[in-house]
Amino acid sequence: SGRMGSRLKQNPERTFNWFFEATCPVARDKDPGVKFQFPEDFRDEGSSQTLPRFCFPYDIQRQRDGVAVQHFTFVLTDLEGCQRFGFCRLTNSTQTCLCILSYLPWFEVFYKLLNSLADYLSKGQINEIKALLATLYKQTIPLAPGSVTLQMVNLLTSQREPGESHSGQIPYFIAPDPKSLPSIPENRNLTELIVAVDVGNLLQLYASMLFERRILIFSSKLSTLTSCVHALSAVLYPMYWQHIFIPVLPPHLLDYCCYSAPMPYLIGVHTSLSERVRSRGLEEVVILNVDTNTLETPFDDLKKIPADVMSGLKVCLKRQAVSPGCGVSRAFLKAQALLFGGYRDALQGDKEGDIYFCEEVFLDHKSTSMKQFLQSAIHLQFFKQFIDCRLDVLNKGKELDDLFEEEITKCETTAVGRGKSYQQLVGNLKKGGGALILNMKTKANMKLQNEYES
């Protein structure tokens, strides 16, 4: 799997599962109404009842003045533990919400699609909506990133205004490349996070995630709220948050915040519900209020992470914060490589030629602060998951070639590695599974060689 340990569904059958238009509940204890849906016979394990509640995740009696139109995304975890995304477009004046349910984390694509659908709805073009959705519903998912172009010209020619271009309003979508790092401004989630949260608080949140704390984020803008939560989980790459993950919590689930410690979570809550959440008594929770850019934490997590890594990250973030490109993502990737890249030295081969992870070697570090950090890291869920997935790939005789491995190699050439290197281990492995890894080693070396020579 390309996204090791991630909670994305590997091969979803279709681009989306359900589209619906929901109307705001008339009272706190009532359900939203569903006006239009596609497919019309959509049924799901209970979610067709409760799902529309996620479209209005605020206190409906208090929240009336909002941004005209907001895009936000909630997440549901299915029975297999895979995440399904609910991409929403909420219109304040009418208090209606359009929602698309999909396993694909294509934020920009679905937000654009929701705008097109809203446009058709406002003109009462229901047949166009059905045609567009039917085409998308049957669309095969491209395994390679690139464009998903919808050929809908003939469907819509009858609706064309005189003089309108041949394609009219027909949207086309470009599927994001899952192998590229999130960039600013293309990646909406990361962009909102960087604009909304100052560097000091960002570092605190990163540290809190590295220790798998209970993290609550409050914001009065739903779009900012869910963007921040989604973008935060992405800075752990190549590791993945393995615990409760709720980018925006609907009122009927507020008790999730009050699970007694030590159940880690990453949860977003709309400000209109913050008093109701706080009044429940929160134990050991890190809280960021995005509106005021203030962070409360009962922990000293920042100090427990090697200072050189954090100060390097801070410098990079300050420099990159406003510049376009992958700089911010790269800064976090480098921090992850410096903190966890030593896992490669701890890969050992047993007599049968299988690779295993040796904790002792991993913890054997010259720097005391690094050693202490790693001692807590080996108990983290996201780290265990990461190691399991890496071993799984290696023991199947496959190559590890992703951005993280490249970043570790970069860091190793600038820093003096420790003891017995990954390269040697790989050289000592039996042929078979080991041959591929050897091959990767030489490829990495050649790449470096070329960089030096160019």
pLDDT (tens digit per residue) in 300-343:
999 999 999 999 999 999 987 678 999 999 999 999 999 999 99
- Could you tell me the CA-to-CA distances from 167 to 137, 150, 159, 390 in Å, in that order? 20, 11, 11, 46
Q: How far apart are CA 398 and CA 210, in angstroms?
A: 28
Please give the distance of CA 125 from its chain centroid, rounded to a whole number: 34
Least reliable range by pLDDT among 49-63, 297-311, 375-389, 422-436: 422-436
Q: How many percent of the chain have pLDDT more than 70?
A: 79
pTM: 0.84
DSSP run (H or E) holding 395: helix 381-395
Q: How far apart are CA 366 and CA 411, in angstroms?
A: 16
> Which residues lie below 8 Å from residue 415, measured CB to CB, with a gap of 6+?
none
Q: What is the pLDDT of residues 111-124, one digit of tens each?
A: 999 999 999 999 99
Q: Is the pLDDT of residue 451 over 50?
A: no
Residue 67, judged by CB atoms within 10 A of its CB (0-12, 13-18, 19+), counts as middle
* Cis geometry, peptide bond prior to residue 12 (ω within 30 degrees of 0): no
Least reliable range by pLDDT among 59-63, 155-159, 175-179, 417-421: 155-159
Please give the distance of CA 18 from its chain centroid, rounded to a whole number: 21
Question: What mean pLDDT is predicted for residues 239-250?
Answer: 93
Please say whether the beta carbons of 324 and 331 come within 8 A: no
Does CATH number 3.40.50.2300 belong to domain 180-304?
A: no
DSSP run (H or E) holding 340: helix 327-340
Hey, where are the domains in the chain?
1-175, 180-304, 329-453
Predicted pLDDT at 423: 54
Q: Are strands 83-91 and 214-219 parallel, antiparallel or unpaired?
A: unpaired
Does the CA dihedral 235-8-268-95 come out positive or negative? positive
Q: Which two tokens stand for residue 106?
A: 């294509």
Q: What is the pLDDT of residues 14-35, one digit of tens each?
A: 889 999 999 998 888 888 999 8
Q: What's domain 1-175's architecture?
A: 2-Layer Sandwich (3.30)
Q: What is the pLDDT of residues 206-215, one digit of tens each?
A: 999 999 999 9
Q: What is the pLDDT of residues 391-402, one digit of tens each?
A: 999 998 888 878
Question: What mean pLDDT is predicted for residues 416-437?
Answer: 47
Question: What mean pLDDT is predicted for residues 57-71?
Answer: 82
pLDDT band at 199 (very low <50, low <70, confident <90, very high): very high
Q: How far apart are CA 155 and CA 369, in angstroms?
A: 64
3 state DSSP class of 91: strand
Q: Which residue has the tokens 């281990």?
A: 425
Please say whether the beta carbons of 72 and 100 come within 8 A: no
